[in-house]
Structure 1
Amino acid sequence: MEIATYTSLIAAATRCGDAETRAACERILPQEQAMAQWLLEHVPSISTEYLDRSASGQEAKKRTSQEASKHECLPCGA
């Protein structure tokens, strides 16, 4: 949804001659695209991991910083 929104805003800003808004949206759009790609790659495994834990009666938990460092970070570097 964010990709479509920023794409629309870029088109509207271009049509209206709003270079500042267009530039801002063009800077943000690649970040949204990267996040969408990350979600496509990771959501299936996150979902199945949750279902596996739920089926075995394990409570969902936050990862420790040590556990998290073993996994890929979000595209934003968080």
Structure 2
Amino acid sequence: MGANPQGFDAATLYAYSPLQPNMAVRLRDAFPVWGSPAGLAAEAAVCAMLLQTVARGDNLTLEDPLRNWSEELRRR
């Protein structure tokens, strides 16, 4: 087992899914880790990491989707 939380890879794929419109729903359906504490931790970790890249000027096309995802995560 790696150092990343369970669901980290799935959350990484999900983070880039706004670039592929139907992918987010397919990913949520494909990975049973969503909704679990480990899945939430993975989502939060990936979201935070990518928001840091946005702050450095990278992944700017993902800025709005990442901020929306961050707000959604805070409500859970």
TM-score above 0.5: no
Structure ranking higher on relative contact order (CA contacts 8 Å, 6+ apart): 2
For normalisation by structure 2, the TM-score amounts to 0.33
Of the two, which has the highest radius of gyration?
Answer: 1
